[in-house]
Amino acid sequence: LQSGAQPTPKERIPLKHGVHRIGKRTDAAMQRWREYGLGQFIHWGVYAIPGGQWNGKTSAYAAEWFRSSGLISKEEYDNLYNQFNPTSFDTKQWAKQAKQMGARYMIFTTKHHDGFCMWPSKYTNYTIASTPYKKDIVKQLVDAYDAEGIDVYLYFSIIDWSHKGYRSGVPASDAEKASYETFKDFTRNQLIELLTKYPTIKGLWFDGSWDKAWINEAAWVDEFGKELRALHPGLIIGSRFRADENGKRHIDTNGDLIDDYDQRFERNLPNTLEETGGNDWDCVMTIPENQWGYHRDWSLTYIKTPYDLIEMTVKANSLNGNFVVNFGPDGKGNIRKEETDIAKGIGDWMAVNGKAVYGVHHSILEKQDWGHSTQRGDITYLSVFNKPMNNILKVKVPKSKEKDMIYVIESATFTSSKTAAIVRDGGRDKFGSLFYDILIPVDIQRLNEPFVIELRLKQV
């Protein structure tokens, strides 16, 4: 168990559809998930054709929600698939780019809220098979990412605007109920289809499960989740799939995390371990403000920089979470140049400093102004994002838990330099914690980028 993960014994009321396990999963599949550190999300569907613009007008809202923008009629949108022909789509190149970025897992939108399927589902005609492109996109991606050793997760939206039986509100009349039953069958069939067709995938990333109609089906959804898990041993499902019988989502009535990891930190990192409740979690992040699908106009909001995203990656891992950067390819299958450059920027840094991200956990150091610290075994990684003007890094070392023992720095090296760090005594506070001054050498100063110090601490 990682620090902070001890479940505290408490009174629980019996729930039929609450959690089925107290505390974290301990199996190998979940341990692998925990060590990913960094992932890639891809939002791709027919919304990439308009890319946030239609008839000369631009919607500033999320491009993957373009059907609801008011700029396009539902009929026009629902016929976009007739034009979907991504002739530039190069699966291997996407997977290589993800690999170079340092992503260890990838999440792909098999079906977003519009209901368009990127695989040839036999349960609807609204799929890739009906487009001029025809070929199975999910299959190509799974194969290419598998070949690069990047684990694949399938994003699946419970909301489906294309299905006749879909409802967001709880169906009231018998006819409405019968209609919703057809939607439940359809959803179940599609997910079983995905797990059967793409058996190497590691998990399902659910979305759109906030509908009252879906929450009202807690018992059915719970059984369905068990069925999916039985079909695919090791399957990883986040907290955005089902509610308990009291309509509590993510966290059940007893305060326990539903399913395998917390999905509530979307575009919003926690600041402390307490905020994470000691659970596994991921944070998925857009590069612009709130655009997941391709938007033609990236001048609308601030665009995050590679160092911005790298800091978030390290911060997430310092709090025992995974960080996932989203990409929105265009209607032809091109990943835009800005995104390719950002992926390269992240990857170049990760190639040198990735040790501070993969397989690490919350460190014994407290959070300090210069950045974030992570730990693996007896090595503590200091990732420095705020370099002091005087190039003297003040590091507070914790007090040992054992009586009369203290931690001292045994060695400090930079991952991006052969120069050994010069470490000086930096004093002591009234609680007995030691401070050290680490002098930042000239070659690191010149790098002008975030850097990592590998610290070995010993108790004396």
Chain residues binding ligand JFZ by CB under 6 A are 62, 64-65, 207, 264, 266, 284, 292
Query: d(Cα 307, Cα 349) in Å, to the nearest integer?
Result: 9
Report whether 456 contacts 410 (CB < 8 A). Answer: yes
What's the closest the beta carbon of residue 290 comes to ligand JFZ, in angstroms? 8
Do strands 57-58 and 203-207 pair parallel, antiparallel, or not at all (unpaired)? Answer: unpaired
**Nearer to ligand JFZ among residue 292 and residue 414 (C-beta):** 292
What's the closest the beta carbon of residue 167 comes to ligand JFZ, in angstroms? 17
375 CB-contact burial (10 Å; exposed 0-12 / middle 13-18 / buried 19+)? buried
Query: d(Cα 217, Cα 128) in Å, to the nearest integer?
Result: 30
What's the closest the beta carbon of residue 109 comes to ligand JFZ, in angstroms? 7
Q: Report the amino acid identity of residue 347.
A: G
**Nearer to ligand JFZ among residue 64 and residue 244 (C-beta):** 64
What's the closest the beta carbon of residue 448 comes to ligand JFZ, in angstroms? 33
**Nearer to ligand JFZ among residue 109 and residue 374 (C-beta):** 109
Residues 6+ apart with CB under 8 A from 345: 305, 306, 307, 310
Q: Give, in degrees to the nearest 5, the angle at Cα 149 between 349 and 309.
A: 30
Closest Cα to residue 347, out of 165, 180, 150, 115? Answer: 150
What's the closest the beta carbon of residue 65 comes to ligand JFZ, in angstroms? 6
Q: Which two tokens stand for residue 91?
A: 């699966």
Q: Which two tokens stand for residue 450?
A: 């975030």
Q: Give, in degrees to the nearest 5, the angle at Cα 302 between 205 and 56.
A: 90
Query: d(Cα 304, Cα 267) in Å, to the nearest integer?
Result: 12
**Nearer to ligand JFZ among residue 65 and residue 81 (C-beta):** 65
CA-CA-CA-CA dihedral for 438, 439, 440, 441, to nearest 10? -140
Closest Cα to residue 324, out of 239, 265, 386, 385? Answer: 265
Report whether 450 contacts 310 (CB < 8 A). Answer: yes
Q: Give, in degrees to the nearest 5, the angle at Cα 384 between 291 and 31.
A: 65
What's the closest the beta carbon of residue 264 comes to ligand JFZ, in angstroms? 6
What's the closest the beta carbon of residue 377 comes to ligand JFZ, in angstroms? 34
Closest Cα to residue 71, out of 94, 102, 46, 50? Answer: 50
What's the closest the beta carbon of residue 244 comes to ligand JFZ, in angstroms? 17
**Nearer to ligand JFZ among residue 65 and residue 327 (C-beta):** 65
Phi, psi angle pair for 105, to nearest 5°: -150, 160
211 CB-contact burial (10 Å; exposed 0-12 / middle 13-18 / buried 19+)? middle
What's the closest the beta carbon of residue 423 comes to ligand JFZ, in angstroms? 43
Query: d(Cα 155, Cα 150) in Å, to the nearest integer?
Result: 16
Query: d(Cα 288, Cα 303) in Å, to the nearest integer?
Result: 5
Q: Report the amino acid identity of residue 389.
A: M
